[in-house]
Structure 1
Amino acid sequence: MLITEPWTTIADRLGLVATAPPEGSDADVVLAGADWPSTAYRTKTFPAPIRPATVHAHAASARERGIWLLLVVPSASAGVRKAALEENVSLLIVPGSPGSHVRGSLLSPAGRRDLADPTAATEPSRRPGRIPWATYALAFELLEAPKTSQRVLAGRIGVTQPRISQALQDLGDAVHRTPTGWEVRSPDYLADWVLARYPWQPRIATSWLTLDPPVTAAQRATAHLREGGIEHAVGGDVAADSIAPWARPSSTWIWTAVPVDLQEIEATPTTADAANLFLAVPDDPYLLRSADRPKNGYPVLSPWRVWIDLAHQGHDDAADALRRHLTTRRGPA
């Protein structure tokens, strides 16, 4: 493995320059660039693939030092990549074979940047480019209200009617036009379409341990976020329980506009497997806009977005129960 290769790639593809850390620092390298604050990283390079447990162990050590962690590996399983995202650990995949490309993600206080494989853009695909966020927003709106006019959809999502027309084309056979507007052919078909394609993974997620039960933790955390003027909405099984009670919530999941320190409400930062409260910053610009904001109580994601939370978090039984409830309901509550 060429240890110098990641830093050259980072400079070429992300415009980030690697420099030496201050003398006496626990860090090994400092990365800085446009829109990327000077961030010091503790690096660890592995000559062979690692396990998720290794990511968690090194992340805990880095947290004790109060420093960002960057792991360099020759390959990474889905479990390792998931563990790195859960721990807010930067992960660079540097294969040893000639002609291979550096991939992975870098995290800093400014957020996350991905090093995609440059060859991926040249590989043939069934559709050009990624699906726009507005198309997913439209899909969620149609799941909530299967029979809706194009004008109403544009107003709810906050885009122009021509943009809605383009998004409807993206949905293909999942929808069809009627004399009164657009209608979902099958909620199950559209739900499966969203589940297979929607890029749910948060940009950044932090995990916390509290002594409160999930609903109380949600109340305290959202009150703190509201006082700070931070846009947010509750998802996961706490939100699901408020929509269609099925099983006692086991954790609290809150989407926020920015990362927030919850130590002021006596929450303790911890690893994802030990946490019962999670804060996540979405890549989807429509997610927080679509939340229901009651006069009393905390904001909650729309029901079908809550279902996506459950499905991607592995709460399969709760997700199936909520989906059956929403499919049977066939429209807004």
Structure 2
Amino acid sequence: MGVDVVSLLRELDFGIEEGTSARSLLLRSPKNAIFLVSVVSSVPRVNAHTLRSFIARRSSPVRPLFVGSTATEGVLEQARAGVVDVLTQQPLQLILKGEVFSPSLEESAPEQPKVSPGRLAWGRWGIERCLLLAVTPLTQSQIAELVGVSQQMVSRVCRQLGSWITTTSAGVMLSDPKNLLERWRQEYPGAGGQQFGWYSLDPIVKQTLNAVSEAKLLDARPLVSGDVAADRLMPWKLPSRGRIYVDGPIDLAGCGFVPAPLDEATLITCVPADPTVWRLTEHGIFQMHDDMDLADAALVYWDVLNSDGIDSQEAADHLISLITQELR
């Protein structure tokens, strides 16, 4: 069985895009460094013979990425010296131009999770959101597919959660959703990325619908979060600002908006850094709407709680009851 390169790269929080040829990938590190590599077919163990057997195109600027379940120490020394690029599964590490990328080796207790300095734990937070939104047990492979991470990462996170989850023959499920939701809220930094402020005199819901329509025309995959989404999930919040996730910057100047500073904006569009934002939008049992797609309930909860509306705390409390299944 070959190595699942994409899953390993995602576990290392790398962004992945197609490169200039069939086997090339454009990789974006967690610190936004860009690497163009050509993926060499994986082997059980990358060794000196593997390197000698690969004939690189001398005229190509694309560096080969050697992939294996393991690699010899000699190959790893060459990789750390910047001579070759290597991705291994055991241990999970990616070495590009001499820089080593690896997950945190800390396996912390549920109440004290650890994150490597300089890296954001998008994968772990996505797995925790997945468990929070689930209404039935999920196998580790189902969670991995939903979140877009490796099964090894799911297994590690489940071990870290300890007594907070229950394992059955059907899979795993949270036994303490309220405490996990609170911990996730405290740790999660928000979806990150680029935010753009817009101003309009229209009512907030109408602004949001107009922006969604424009974003759909631009194939920007809009997801509504914040006040408007909270009001759709639990009719309590009086929307005071719109918030939409899009997969690229969009110009709303042609549909009744003018650019505005974020603190003065009536609507914010966000190109998130969190790669899991779109993964869980239809996960769990939540009401669907024909006129707009909503971000998942956990993201909506975080966005509302971290907004400056006068009724944000009350709306967030109602969402807690929804997410922890008290009202489902």
TM-score by length of 1: 0.57
Percent of aligned positions that are identical: 27
Q: Does structure 1 residue 192 correspond to structure 2 residue 182?
A: yes
**1:283: how far off?**
1.2
- Residue number in structure 2 paired with 1:311: 305
Q: Distance in 1 between the 2:303 and 2:275 partners?
A: 16
**1:235: how far off?**
0.2
* Residue type at the aligned position of 2:307: Q
Q: How does 1:75-86 map to 2 (within 5 A)?
A: none
Q: Distance in 1 between the 2:235 and 2:289 partners?
A: 21
How many pairs are equivalent?
211
**1:146: how far off?**
5.0
Instruction: Give the number of the structure whose residues are more often helix, by fraction.
Output: 1
CA 1:280–1:289 in 2, change beyond 3 Å: closer, same or farther? Answer: same
**1:281: how far off?**
1.6
CA 1:295–1:328 in 2, change beyond 3 Å: closer, same or farther? Answer: closer
2:121 counterpart (108, 120, 132): 132
- Bigger mean CA offset, 287-296 vs 253-262: 287-296
- Residue number in structure 2 paired with 1:277: 267
Q: Distance in 2 between the 1:292 and 1:218 partners?
A: 20
Gaps of at least 5 residues in structure 1 are 1-33, 36-124
* Residue type at the aligned position of 2:269: L
- Residue number in structure 1 paired with 2:100: none
Q: Distance in 2 between the 1:215 and 1:302 partners?
A: 18
Q: Distance in 2 between the 1:135 and 1:215 partners?
A: 33
Q: Does structure 1 residue 217 correspond to structure 2 residue 207?
A: yes
Stretches (4+) displaced over 6 A:
none
Q: Distance in 2 between the 1:127 and 1:326 partners?
A: 25
- Bigger mean CA offset, 241-250 vs 294-303: 294-303
- Residue number in structure 2 paired with 1:148: 137
* Residue type at the aligned position of 1:139: E
Q: Distance in 2 between the 1:250 and 1:329 partners?
A: 27
Q: Considering only aligned residues, what root-mean-square deviation do their CA atoms show, in Å?
A: 2.7
TM-score by length of 2: 0.58
Q: How does 1:1-333 map to 2 (within 5 A)?
A: 127=114, 129=116, 130=119, 132-150=121-139, 151-200=141-190, 202-292=192-282, 296-314=290-308, 315-329=312-326
**1:30-89 deviation line (CA, Å, top 9, x unaligned):** xxxx87xxxxxxxxxxxxxxxxxxxxxxxxxxxxxxxxxxxxxxxxxxxxxxxxxxxxxx
**Contact 1:146-1:182 at 8 Å conserved across structures:** no
Gaps of at least 5 residues in structure 2 are 1-32, 35-111
- Residue number in structure 2 paired with 1:85: none
CA 1:222–1:250 in 2, change beyond 3 Å: closer, same or farther? Answer: same
Q: Distance in 1 between the 2:300 and 2:159 partners?
A: 25
- Residue number in structure 2 paired with 1:4: none
**Contact 2:242-2:268 at 8 Å conserved across structures:** yes
Q: Distance in 2 between the 1:235 and 1:126 partners?
A: 27
SS in 1 for 2:270: strand
**1:300: how far off?**
0.6
